[in-house]
Amino acid sequence: MSNPGSQSVSRTALFPAAVVCCLVFGITLMGFSIGTISAEEATPQVNKMGAKKPVAKKSAAREENANPERVKQAKNAGKAKQADNPNKKQADKKQGKKKNNAQKANKTAAQKAKQQQKRKQSQLAAEETNESTAATLNEMNPPAPVDLAHVREVSKQIDELITVGLNNSGIAPAPLASDEDFLRRVNFDLTGKLPTSAEVVEFGLSSDPDKRANVIHNLLGTREYAQNWAQYWRDVIYTRATDPRAQRQSPVFTEWMQGQIAANRSWDEITTEMLTATGRMSQDGQTGLFFAHNGEGEEIAAEASRIFLGIQIQCAQCHDHFTDQWTREQFHQLASFFPRAKVRRVEGSEPRDFEVYSRDGNANPQQSKLFASLADPESFLATYDRNNDGVLNMRELNPRQGKPENKKAFALPRRILAELDTDKDRQLTLAELAEFKMPGKFKRNAAEHFMADLNDPSAPGTPMSPAFFLSETDIDEGLADIERRTVVADLITSPENEWFAKAYVNRVWTVLLGEGFFPAIDDIGPEREMRHPEVLDLLAREFVASGYDMEWLFRVILNTEAYQREALELDPAKTSSDFAAVLPTRLRADQVYEALVCALGANEPGPAAVKKRKNKKSFEEGRRNQFQKLFEYDPSENSAEVSGTIPQALFLMNSQRINGQIEGRNSFVRELLDQEMTPEAITTEIYLRVLGRTPDKEEVELVADYVQQAETPLEGYEDLVWSLINSTEFLTKR
Amino acid sequence: MTIHEQVRIGRSGISRRRFVHTVSAAAFAAGTLTFRDIVSLRAEELQKQRRSMILLWLNGGPSQLEMFDPKPNHANSGETKAIQTSVSGIEIAHRWEQTAKVMDDVALIRSMTNKEGNHRRASYHLHTGYVPSGSVKHPSLAANVAYRIADPEVTIPSVVSVGNTFGAGYLGVDYEPFVVGDPGTLPTDTTPTVDSQRFNKRLGLLGQIENRYADRGAASLVKSHQQLYKKTRNLITSPELKAFDFADEPAEMLTAYGDNKFGKGCLLARRLIEAGSTFVEVTLNGWDTHQDVFTRTDELISQVDPAFAALIADLKARGLLDTTTVLLMGEFGRTPKINPRGGRDHFPRVFNAALAGGGIRGGQVIGQSSDDGSEVAERPVTVGDLFCSLCHTLQIDPASETRSPLGRPMKIVEEGEVVEELFT
């Protein structure tokens, strides 16, 4: 946690009287430096060149990605056998219906190596950023050179498309939000914090026509931006964690993600890192998705599809999808990319640590292939019966003699198969092979995925081979763990897979505007009802062209009028605002926390806290975790369905933590009263500080009435702070 | 119209407040009863009529073979033996000694069957009556029940859960569960930091400020927030709040329930039902026994068995059992075959549940699994059937509808029939 508030306290202490007077009497403050705000802070620095990864490098990567001629060496190896696999056949039939087929996402070895090297480089950059997070941010991470003209152009196109849509349906768009509302909104969206009262006032007074674009630019360069979005992704992943133990990894994940975002690594790189991760719970944040589900392949496949593609393919886990085209086979083929990524305790680690590792060892690819192909005894016999005598002798079961590791690998299958030889003639007939049942012990050790038999859950099920439901690319069987995870990461992040870009664009748009292109943030896909598809298409296309540049996407969306409109609740008679207005949404736990810190300086420990604590850091962390638990919600939920809880209300109303700050001896209300300001100026400052806006006339009056009837003005204003903290508006991004 | 009839109307949806107003006005007009008479008369009626439910949730999928469907004569039973219960002919697993003594009041279903073998999906299904769907967030059974029968004048939350659970979905704030982390103590922050006069003034100022924001395009957000604050304020000032605090509970009671979180949760459930809550859930985690099923269930049952038995006996002694439905279950069962790690894996095809109270005839077993436990041999009971039966005990029509945000009419449960044997 940062910003202990000392700076902002001193600012506000000096600042408000002057500004409020100016507001009240209508005097402009242009060219007037107030309080501790320096001219430098107030001046946006748009074209500063920085150390960030140049955009050109990215577009090179993009071209490489888009090259449709890339072919993977190993790719076709499994093709011939594939026809024998009944599951695949069926899946392929279904896939044949789809249009976007001719996908060749795999890379040549050379290209792959290049790509890896590139990843390594930007990974290093990300790590560096991580290490120096304590340093001042703008020095360390200055804004990147950006093609602002292109950003403006795309923002404009989006607004034009939305305007056409609104005109056609006769809806009048809401007016642009006031400067105050815009500033609060964009701060919450990028940095997760409230702007200080000084920033609000100053922003309102600036006559720079580009001031909104400049604020967006500056905030994108802050450390808080990276932190806020890292926390967002932490919530996306960990609120759905099926393994409770994973929660303790969430700070590690957040830190890792923050480094990625701060270095502006592209979304495809981040996705690939997460899907191909190995490493320790205590230090390798990129393993988050695997620990969240304790290495369970089916859960990871389901979550990867939901998070990175917005497709809820897990509905097809037990039956073909009811409303979509996905089949049960396709779900389990996706799960087949992950069976070898396992979680285990790091031997001897104390305190206990866990790691994600590849279990390729005892499940030799040939071994698994051998067992898998026994599902069809006839083709099994045909494959191995080299002398074509219609039976298998034991020698024939040793396909590649000579290599000792192969012999070893086949020792176990041969032993198992030998047991099928009921007549002891040292030969296996088709009838004997048909008796084969997957031994339970082997199944447990087998690092291949099996699709459960719904009618017999205790049976091993059908062995599955990896395939990606959005592409026809053939994939080798028996690939090692990292190989197959790299393949699926490549397929998911391929520019030819439109749903990767669309899922990200839809998610970010939904967070920023309160409403997305689809009714649900993570249930999109070809068969979902959609609004303004032309806008999503444009954004997704441009996002791909940017090299999945997350910052670029923020810049474009935040600069649209659609984002900058007034926030109005949805008309209950409608299902969508059609982007005529922004929908108010509830702040996430981290944002509420930051808002409290900004409003009250709540992270300066109160008197009670000083007595109790011994270790400041862990004490703070403990309280922060408690707070997080209390206010956290799953950010993939429809924001209209997120509601407050009684314990939250109890905390805001009655906790010592809040009230100690409001009523304490060092409260900011006392400081304000010491300034001998007018009642209106005090009210204005309190509103600015807590809600990030000035009160309107009626509010000033009702507060004045209230304070007059209070025991003392101090009590009256304390009650005002309490009421604003407990108001709907405080918890809402407006 | 008699008071009794009017109470019935009240329970089917007309709020108690409205009822009291109309009746007292009429009674005053007729000059027959004093206001106080009416209220006390009605309170007694209500006490008699009010239905409620306690769900004891064994999270992770408890093994039916180590619960109420032992197979002592089959290899699948492993270390688990069967014991006699107070009802001759009913045997349960040997660790459930206290429960065995109250079997007269308990009905077992040994033929629960379902298809969901994934924790999340199965838990969702068994809490809401629906399988998860991207398009609608279904209200939990708790919310559905409270929506229909909770007494709006009760000032403590109508839905309480010891441990996290599913929410009210589109039914909204009023029916969201109040989650208790530490049963036996007052919930945190229930005492205002300022005196009550100033506290009320603060709330008044808050109301005025909220109205201003409502006018700025956030009317329904404000409304739901205000609803929440009203509920919270009611809780703070509620004389029933002390139900959360065990200070007045005799020590032997706590001993009977078990001095652990689950035992305390069950005791809290009884106290809250007594104080007017409609639905209390108590969760015990740890039932996902893929390995060491015997040692691990041993430990878990040592908490559940005394608590469950004490709860039934206690509710009965207080005359609350007839109107309180108690259900003990988890999201699915476990494979009859013991796996090589000495554990059992997910098995939705056959599982079991124990029910008591709410008019259910105890001392009986519904359904039967095959000798090896691998399938239902007799009288399969689906999730829908179970939900319909629960609704029956609560005197609610399972087909009564609420509207989803998109205007779709939603029943409590879409299919299934009441398991009539439970009540005959």
A658-671 tens-digit pLDDT: 999 999 888 899 99
Q: How many inter-chain contacts (A to B, CB under 8 Å) are there? A: 159
When pLDDT is averaged across residues A82-100 and rounded to a whole number, the result is 39
- For B293, the token pair is 């099923």
CB contact under 8 A, A584 and B209: no
DSSP string, B322-380: GGEEEEEE-S-EE-SSPPTTS---EE-SSEEEEEE-TT---SEEE-EE-TTSSSEEE--
> Cβ contacts (< 8 Å) between A520 and chain B: which residues?
134-135
Of B202, B217, B220, the CB nearest to A572: B220
> Cβ contacts (< 8 Å) between B137 and chain A: which residues?
637-638, 641
Q: For testing the chain A interface, which of B137, B165, B189, B202 should be mutated: the one with the most A CBs within 10 Å?
A: B189
When pLDDT is averaged across residues A235-262 and rounded to a whole number, the result is 91
Render the burial of A627-651: b for 16+ CB within 10 Å, e for the rest. bbebbbbebbebbbbebbbbbbbbb
B409–A contact, CB cutoff 8 A? no
CB contact under 8 A, B228 and A644: yes
Vertex A178 angle, CA A177 and A183, to 5°: 90
Residues forming beta bridges with residue B107, ordered by sequence position:
B355, B364
Count the neighbouring beta carbons within 10 Å of the beta carbon of residue A286: 22
Confidence at residue A715, expressed as pLDDT on a 0 to 100 scale = 96
B205–A contact, CB cutoff 8 A? yes
Of B120, B193, B335, the CB nearest to A654: B193
- Say if residues B330 and B58 touch (Cβ distance below 8 Å): yes
How sure is the predictor about B37, in pLDDT bands with cuts at 50, 70 and 90?
Answer: low
CB contact under 8 A, B210 and A458: no
Residues 699-728 of A with CB under 8 A from B: 699, 702, 706, 710-711, 715, 719-720, 722-724, 726-728
Residue A256: inside a domain:
no
Residue A629: inside a domain:
yes
SS3 B423: helix
* Residue scoring higher pLDDT (A379 or B350): B350
* Residue scoring higher pLDDT (A619 or B146): B146
Give the minimum alpha-carbon distance from B218 to chain A in angstroms, rounded to a whole number: 5
> Cβ contacts (< 8 Å) between A566 and chain B: which residues?
217
Residues 319-348 of B with CB under 8 A from A: 335-337, 339-340, 345-348
A608–B contact, CB cutoff 8 A? no
Q: Tokens 């004045």: give the residue.
A: A704
B192–A contact, CB cutoff 8 A? yes
- Say if residues A476 and A110 touch (Cβ distance below 8 Å): no
Give the best-scoring range by mean pLDDT among A4-18, A250-264, A380-394, B35-49.
A250-264
Domain that residue A370 falls in: 365-446
SS3 A252: helix
B172–A contact, CB cutoff 8 A? yes
The terminus-to-terminus CA distance of chain B in angstroms comes to: 32
Residue A604: inside a domain:
yes
Of A638, A649, A654, the CB nearest to B191: A654
Mean pLDDT of chain A: 78
Of A242, A444, A637, the CB nearest to B120: A242
Of A182-196, A411-425, A479-493, A691-705, the poorest mean pLDDT is in A411-425
CB contact under 8 A, B235 and A444: no
DSSP string, A701-712: HHHHHHHHHSSS
Confidence at residue A331, expressed as pLDDT on a 0 to 100 scale = 92
B231–A contact, CB cutoff 8 A? yes
CB contact under 8 A, B193 and A519: no
Q: Which of A446, A474, A490 is the last residue of a domain?
A: A446
Of A143-147, A163-167, A170-174, B253-257, the poorest mean pLDDT is in A143-147
Q: Tokens 């989006």: give the residue.
A: A158
CB contact under 8 A, B117 and A457: yes
CB contact under 8 A, B191 and A644: no
SS3 B227: helix
Cα(B7)–Cα(B1) distance, rounded to whole angstroms?
10
Per-residue pLDDT tens for B76-86?
999 999 999 99
Give the CATH number, domain containing residue A594. 1.10.3130
- For A41, the token pair is 């802070």
Residue A611: inside a domain:
yes
DSSP string, A510-557: HHHHS--SSSSTT--STTS--S-HHHHHHHHHHHHHTTS-HHHHHHHH
Residues 317-376 of A with CB under 8 A from B: 317-318
Cα(A314)–Cα(A92) distance, rounded to whole angstroms?
19
- Say if residues B178 and B157 touch (Cβ distance below 8 Å): yes
When pLDDT is averaged across residues A274-292 and rounded to a whole number, the result is 96
What is the sign of the dihedral through the CA atoms of A415, A419, A420 and A426?
A: positive
Please tell me which residue of chain A has the smallest CA distance to B132: A315
Cα(A76)–Cα(A82) distance, rounded to whole angstroms?
10
Cα(A331)–Cα(A450) distance, rounded to whole angstroms?
11
Count the neighbouring beta carbons within 10 Å of the beta carbon of residue A7: 11
ipTM of the complex: 0.73
Report the greatest alpha carbon distance in chain B.
78
A656–B contact, CB cutoff 8 A? yes
CB contact under 8 A, B134 and A520: yes
Give the CATH number, domain containing residue A411. 1.10.238
Of B208, B221, B228, the CB nearest to A702: B208
- For A76, the token pair is 């076709």
> Cβ contacts (< 8 Å) between B178 and chain A: which residues?
645-647
A294–B contact, CB cutoff 8 A? no
Residue A678: inside a domain:
yes
B163 secondary structure, DSSP code: S
Q: Quote the percentage of chain A above a pLDDT of 90.
A: 47
When pLDDT is averaged across residues B3-30 and rounded to a whole number, the result is 36
> Cβ contacts (< 8 Å) between B118 and chain A: which residues?
298, 317-318
A588 secondary structure, DSSP code: P
Residue A691: inside a domain:
yes
Cα(A495)–Cα(A503) distance, rounded to whole angstroms?
13
When pLDDT is averaged across residues A530-539 and rounded to a whole number, the result is 95
Confidence at residue B395, expressed as pLDDT on a 0 to 100 scale = 94
B216 secondary structure, DSSP code: I
Give every CB contact of residue B319 below 8 A, 6+ residues apart in sequence.
Answer: none
Residue A438: inside a domain:
yes
CB contact under 8 A, A734 and B134: no
Confidence at residue A215, expressed as pLDDT on a 0 to 100 scale = 97
Give kind and range of the element (H or E) at residue A630.
Answer: helix A616-631
When pLDDT is averaged across residues B150-155 and rounded to a whole number, the result is 89
Of B120, B137, B221, the CB nearest to A584: B221
Cα(A188)–Cα(B295) distance, rounded to whole angstroms?
50
Give the minimum alpha-carbon distance from B46 to chain A in angstroms, rounded to a whole number: 26
What does DSSP say about strands A732-733 and A585-586: parallel, antiparallel, or unpaired?
antiparallel
- Say if residues B147 and B139 touch (Cβ distance below 8 Å): yes
Q: Which of A389, A422, A446 is the last residue of a domain?
A: A446
When pLDDT is averaged across residues A264-280 and rounded to a whole number, the result is 97
Residue A405: inside a domain:
yes
Residues 147-206 of A with CB under 8 A from B: none
List for chain A the helix, strand, coil content (%; round to 5).
55, 5, 40
List domains and CATH numbers for chain B.
Answer: 1-49 (no CATH), 51-185+245-423 (3.40.720.10), 186-240 (no CATH)
Confidence at residue A368, expressed as pLDDT on a 0 to 100 scale = 62
Tell me how far CA of residue B333 lies from CA of A241, A694, B326, in angstroms. 22, 59, 19
Residues 404-463 of A with CB under 8 A from B: 440-441, 444, 452, 454, 457-458
Cα(A115)–Cα(A193) distance, rounded to whole angstroms?
36
CA torsion, ordered B375, B377, B378, B380, to nearest 10 deg? 10
How sure is the predictor about A97, in pLDDT bands with cuts at 50, 70 and 90?
Answer: very low
pTM, 2 dp: 0.72
- For A177, the token pair is 């939000």
Of A7-11, B79-83, B108-112, B200-204, the poorest mean pLDDT is in A7-11
Nearest to A483 by CA among A124, A78, A33: A78
Q: Which of A412, A446, A480 is the last residue of a domain?
A: A446
Tally of structural domains, chain A: 2
- Say if residues B377 and B370 touch (Cβ distance below 8 Å): yes
> Cβ contacts (< 8 Å) between A638 and chain B: which residues?
137
CB contact under 8 A, B209 and A646: no
For residue B281, report the phi and psi dihedrals to the nearest 5 degrees. Answer: -115, 140
Please tell me which residue of chain B has the smallest CA distance to A519: B135
Confidence at residue A316, expressed as pLDDT on a 0 to 100 scale = 73
Per-residue pLDDT tens for A176-233?
999 999 999 999 999 999 999 999 999 999 999 999 999 999 999 999 999 999 999 9
- Say if residues A684 and A703 touch (Cβ distance below 8 Å): no
B407–A contact, CB cutoff 8 A? no
> Cβ contacts (< 8 Å) between B194 and chain A: which residues?
659, 663
